[in-house]
Amino acid sequence: MLSTMQDVPLTVTRILVHGTLVHGDSKITTWTGTGEPQRRTFRETGLRAVQLANALRDELGVRRDDRVATLMWNNAEHVEAYLAIPAMGAILHTLNLRLPAEQLVWITKHAADRVVLVNGSLLPLLAPLLPGMESVEHVVVVGPGDTSLLDGCAPAVHEYESLIGDRPTTYDWPELDEREAAAMCYTSGTTGDPKGVLFSHRSIYLHSMQVNMAESMALTTSDTTLPVVPMFHVNAWGIPHAAFMSGINLLMPDRFLQPGPLAEMIEAERPTHAAAVPTIWQGLLGELTARPRDISSLASVVIGGSACPPALMEAYDKLGVRVCHAWGMTETSPLGSLAQTPPGLTPEQEWPYRISQGRFPAGVEARLAGPDGEFMPWDGEAAGELEVRGPWIAGAYYGGAGADPFRPEDKFSPDGWLRTGDVGTITPDGYLTLTDRAKDVIKSGGEWISSVELENHLMAHPEVAEAAVVAVPDDKWGERPLATVVLKEGSSATYESLRAFLAGRIAHWQLPERWAIIPAVPKTSVGKFDKKVIRKDYADGKLDVTKLS
C-alpha cells in the first residue's frame, strides 16, 4: 500500500527558493582584507543566482548535466554558483586550487568541464593550465584580476558582473529527479588518480538537514557561521546549502585564511560558529598567543578533516571556545559523525566523548570489519576497519565522460558498503573512536601501534608545535615508529626528553626509537598530514634521523 503523501523531489532548487524567500534578510558577509566587507542578503544572493542561471543558459549554452567548474575562494559569488548551477540541472564541480597542476588538468578533463568560474586573484594559477583543459569553452572571471594572462589560452572570457548584470530575476526551473547529480568533488588523490564523487540533489538536501540538527552543528537564524573550510573541500562540509536552509548568517573569509586576518575578522564580525581543519586552529591559537584578540563571540567550532589533538581542544576550552570533533570524507558528503556529548555529564565525564570522532547521526549506518572479514561488536574495545552506508554516502565513483561508475574492491564491500580505510572502535551507544588510518597503522611484532595516539601525546608537549609518526621498516619487528617533530621557536627539547615525556603515557614497547626534527609537517591539499612524503623522505635518506637505544 502506498502512502497518501505528496511526492515532492528533494532538490537544491528548493533550498535556493526557501532561503531567498523565507530567510531573505539573512546576510553573507565576505571579508575583503581592506575597508568595509562586502555584504549581501540571502534575497539578493538568490536573485543573483537566478541571473547567473540565465546567463549560463542563454549566453554560454550550459544545458542539463553539463559540468560547470569553480576555482574560487569562499565568497558570496561562490554561494551563488552553489545554488544556480545545480538548480538549472547542470553539475557544480568545485576545483581544489591546492592540488598539483597536473592533477587539476587531469580532473578537469576527466569531468569534461565546459565552463570555469574563477576568482580574478587565481588567474595566475589557472592561465598556464588552460591549454591542457581541452573541454573548457568559457572562462568567467569573478572580481578583479589580470585578464591579460588569459590572452591566447582561453577560448572565451567573460566578466562575471557584466555577464549576469542585465539578466532576468526569474527562471523556469526544471523539475529535476532528486537522484540526479547536483555537484561533484574529487578526492585528493593521495593514492593513485583522484576519484570523482557525484552528489545527488537528494543527498545534498538530506545532508543539509542533518547539518542543521541540534545534535549536529545546530545552525540557527540567530547565529553567524564562519566556514574557513574551503568551498572546494566537500562543499565546505555542507555549510553553504545548510545555511540557505536554516537562515544562519555566513561570514566568508575569501582568500584571507592566514591566522592574522582570521583573528581580525572574528573580532570585528563576531561569528558564533566556525568550521575548519586542525591546522587552521593551531595557527590561529599561535596568533592569539602572540597577539591576543577578542574571540569571545565564538561559542563553538567544528574541527574535522583529520584528528584534533586533545591539547588543542584544551587550549580552546581555556579561551571559552568549545571544540566539537567531527569525522567525514569526500565520499560521505562529508558528515559521518559529530561529537556532541550526552546531557548531564561533568566536564571530566564529557572528555572521552569529546575526543572521540563522535556519534553517528540518523542516516549513517556503520560497522567494523575485522582482519578476517568478521564484523566486530560495538563494545568500545574491538577494533576494525570502519564501513558505512546511507543516503549521503557514495556507492561508486564517477567513471569519466561516457563511462559507467566504478566500484574498486578496496573501496567498496561486495554488498555495497563504503570501506573508509579508517580503523577504530565504536561504543554501544554509537560513538566512534578512530585509532588510525589502515595504511598508517604501525604493525610491530604482531601488535598494532596507533600513529595518531603517538602524535596526540607528542603535540601535548609544551615545546612541540606539530608531530607526525610513520611506520618504517625494522629488521627485528617488521615495522617501528619514526617520530618527526616540529619544535616551537626557542625550544630546548631533546629527543631523550620527548621520549621520556611519552614514557608516562604509553606502553614502553610503543616508544619510538627513531626521531627527526623537521621544519614543518608536509600537508595535503586539504590540510591533512601527508605521511607518504615523510615515508619517502625517510626511504630516500633525506631525514636526519637519530636512533635512541
Positions marked active-site: 187, 331, 443, 448
Q: Which positions ≥6 away from 23 have C-beta within 8 Å?
A: 42, 221, 244, 246, 247
Q: Give the strand pairing for 273-276 and 300-303.
A: parallel
How many Å apart are CA 446 and CA 337, to the nearest integer? 31
Query: In the sheet where 113-119 sits, what is the strand order?
Result: 157-159, 138-142, 113-119, 67-71, 91-94, 181-186, 196-200
| Residue 285 buriedness (CB in 10 A; 0-12 / 13-18 / 19+) | middle
Q: Is 144 helix (H, G, I), strand (E, B) or coil?
A: coil
Residues in the chain: 549
How many Å apart are CA 139 and CA 117, to the nearest integer? 6
Q: Is 19 helix (H, G, I), strand (E, B) or coil?
A: helix
Q: Residue 59's beta-bridge partner residues?
A: none
Q: Please give the DSSP secondary-structure letter assigned to residue 520.
A: S
How many other β-carbons are positioned within 10 Å of the β-carbon of residue 544?
Answer: 9
Asked if 14 and 201 touch (Cβ cutoff 8 Å), the reply is no
Query: In the sheet where 478-487 sits, what is the strand order?
Result: 464-474, 478-487, 514-517, 546-547
Asked if 186 and 197 touch (Cβ cutoff 8 Å), the reply is yes
Give the DSSP H or E segment for 124: helix 123-126
How many Å apart are CA 474 and CA 510, to the nearest integer? 14
**CA-based Rg of the chain, rounded to a whole angstrom?**
24
Query: In this structure, which amino acid lies at residue 408?
Result: P
Asked if 262 and 228 touch (Cβ cutoff 8 Å), the reply is yes
Long-range contacts of 476-481 (CB under 8 A, 24+ apart): 476/445, 477/444, 477/445, 478/443, 478/444, 478/445, 479/442, 479/443, 479/444, 480/442, 480/444, 480/512, 480/513, 480/514, 481/442, 481/444, 481/449, 481/451, 481/454, 481/510, 481/512, 481/514
How many other β-carbons are positioned within 10 Å of the β-carbon of residue 58?
Answer: 11
How many other β-carbons are positioned within 10 Å of the β-carbon of residue 416?
Answer: 12
How many other β-carbons are positioned within 10 Å of the β-carbon of residue 64?
Answer: 12
Question: HEC profile for 363-381?
Answer: CCEEEEECCCCCECCCCCC
Give the DSSP H or E segment for 94: strand 91-94
How many Å apart are CA 274 and CA 284, to the nearest integer? 12
